Structure 1
Amino acid sequence: MNAQPKPVAELGFNTATKGVYPIAATPFNPDQSVDWDSLDRLTDFYEASGATGITILGILGEAGKLDPEESREIAARVIRRTRLPIVVGVSNPSFTAMGRLAKESMDLGAAGVMIAGHAALRSDEQIAAHFRSAVDAIGPDTPWALQDYPLTLSVVLSVPMIARIMTEHPSCVMLKAEDWPQLEKLSTIRSWQKDGKMPAFSILTANGGLFLDFEPERGSDGAMTGYAFPDALVEMDALHRRGERDAAHDLFDAHLPMIRMEQQAGVGLAVRKYLLMRRGAIACDIQRKPGTALTAQGRSEIDYLLERLARKDARARL
């Protein structure tokens, strides 16, 4: 399976990247196999939502439950399906595996890759050494996003540590910011950049969009998150960029109960997949084992929230 690499000018993944990059789920069939038809449909769904690009094989994409051939095939299929820039999650304790998936993805036409640390990293020196080895593995010319997600990954990246990584590795063009609390950290990073203490880079925020009401005012360039209404995230981002603050907050307030529902520990992915299924983006909301499933009452509560959201946003009329 060969994909034609996309022209560099079309990739749109660099230190000036702005917009919304949904984190893609990975659809599965009831027998736990990858649902390739739903993957195509989901890719079309993200593109139709107005997304700037798509990020695949992240935590939400259940990347850790895929074998290497499945990961490569998913990357190839999504890259072939859309002209949007694709960022591929390649995080792996094995630098050999990380480097192989990064090279294969870039050869297929990916715009860049995303890398996180892992729970065994404790000191700043361990963190710095990890990312030096990661850049050696993917190659110094491969653009990448640094994932800052201490709530799940247990890797604490202070602002000085982020500055060190960004300074040592010019190929790191983006920070995927999902620390919590996030707002003050965003302001500090932008202040450091203004003072010349760290280089310029794009910042896309995550946490399911939970703080998207204020993040643009603190310096974010957009969102890279998995909320099942990426079209609403695109609209919120556009409203902020046009200076329509109240309209952006009104739209955010309408979606906040559903965003909160998705952020539940343990069942958040089940909620997202159920919503994606209800929206027609995937055929089945199953997760690959081990995974959680919603109870009948949980689904009923989401359906109720959809009905309420539909009074203010027609996208929820399913």
Structure 2
Amino acid sequence: MTHALQSGVIPAPIMPFQENGAIDWTTLDRYVAQMAGSGISALALNMAAAEATAMSHAEQVETLQRSRKVLAGQVPLVSGLIAGHTAGAVDHARRLVDAGAEGLVVFPPLPTFMSKPLPVSVVAEYHAAVVEAVDVPIIAFQTANAGYPVGTIRALADLGGVVAIKDAAFDIDRTWEIVEEARETEGRVAVLTGNDTFVLEAMLMGCEGALIGLAGAFTAELVRMQQFAAAGKATEAYEIWNELGPIARLCWSNPLRDYRPRMKYVLMKQGVIPCDATRAPQTRISDADRRGIDALFARHGLDQARYLPQG
């Protein structure tokens, strides 16, 4: 179980909604099944890509319960853990594990972790509370607006339950520092890139895998790319990334919040979901973004079957 969360590709898929804002459970079940057969290491639900902050705790729990039945043990099921304070994180962590989560991705509690300087001890204590509350592997999560200071990874490794850190700071220099610090833990904490705009580059720098929203659409091809990168076959990996990199950079361009509707439009073009609805106040895709994605699909042949989640 621990090994599965330390390498490979872990998709963070979007959540399909109906036009009225209700969750499209039938589409979600089918979507989860498609990703499960693509060679992924695990599946991470209730993440930012899924608009989890716009979902109730009850919806997050039901998402796990339904997906657990669909997966039927094919791959580990991981859940994002989003809370604003320690007691809330502990309570929700237990609820998610009871619903079937076999691992948790611990989001930084905002706005507390946004202020600088952020002491290493504060980050470690927050994660320690979750580690003590549940008996599942933990993935820490560094974001662009809540970067963790040098020394955090070493402190997290000492907790015992933290097996990886998702680096989504979108800062390639910081990625290098994180990889170097993680090496000092001798495998106790792995680095998973969450930087959708330079996924392959991060892997070639030493990230053992990826936990990314981009893999919610091009799952099987990203799995192949990661395998090539891990085997040192950079040329073969770049043959894939040269096709997927442009759409990743468009989907995760400014304003960054709009990667969700952009990815929903990508999945709708693939025929994976029937509707690109989001929950307000998240906006729908702009006409300019729609035209840009259409052009990249045509230029890079992204309508080919191999680019579907299941390949």
TM-score, with length taken from structure 2 = 0.86
Distance 2:237 2:247 in 1: 16
Where structure 2 has 5 or more consecutive residues not aligned to the other structure, the ranges are none
Q: 1:249-273: per-residue Cα shift (whole Å, max 9, x none)?
A: 1211121211111112232111101
| Residue 163 of structure 2: aligned partner | 173
Determine if contact 1:22/1:224 at 8 Å carries over to the other structure: yes
Q: 1:11-63: per-residue Cα shift (whole Å, max 9, x none)?
A: x2358721000012111111111110111022012113322111111111111
Map 1:1-318 → 2, pairs under 5 A = 12-14=1-3, 17-82=6-71, 83=73, 84-117=75-108, 118-121=110-113, 122-123=115-116, 128-129=121-122, 131-137=124-130, 139=133, 141-149=135-143, 151=144, 154-167=145-158, 169-182=159-172, 184-194=173-183, 196=184, 200-208=188-196, 210-227=197-214, 228-264=217-253, 265-310=256-301, 315-316=306-307
Q: Which runs of 4+ in 1 moved over 6 A?
A: none
> AA paired with 1:226?
G
> AA paired with 1:174?
A
Distance 1:224 1:310 in 2: 25
Compare 238-247 and 294-303 and name the one that shifted more: 294-303
Determine if contact 2:297/2:303 at 8 Å carries over to the other structure: no
Distance 1:13 1:37 in 2: 30
Where structure 1 has 5 or more consecutive residues not aligned to the other structure, the ranges are 1-11
Instruction: Let me know the Cα RMSD of the aligned residues.
Output: 2.5
Distance 1:127 1:66 in 2: 30
Q: 1:280-301: per-residue Cα shift (whole Å, max 9, x none)?
A: 2222111111111123443233
Compare 128-137 and 171-180 and name the one that shifted more: 128-137
Determine if contact 1:43/1:81 at 8 Å carries over to the other structure: yes
Count, aligned residues: 299
Residues 96 and 73 (structure 1), Cα distance of their counterparts in 2 relative to 1, 3 Å cut: farther
Say which SS state the counterpart of residue 266 (structure 1) adopts: helix
Distance 1:199 1:297 in 2: 44
TM-score, with length taken from structure 1 = 0.85
1:104 is displaced (CA, Å) by 2.6
> AA paired with 2:129?
D
| Residue 7 of structure 1: aligned partner | none
> AA paired with 1:28?
F
Compare 212-221 and 53-62 and name the one that shifted more: 212-221
**Identity level (%):** 22
> AA paired with 1:203?
V
Q: 1:95-151: per-residue Cα shift (whole Å, max 9, x none)?
A: 3442233223223332210112223222556563354245325616332110011x2
Distance 1:171 1:124 in 2: 25
1:164 is displaced (CA, Å) by 2.2
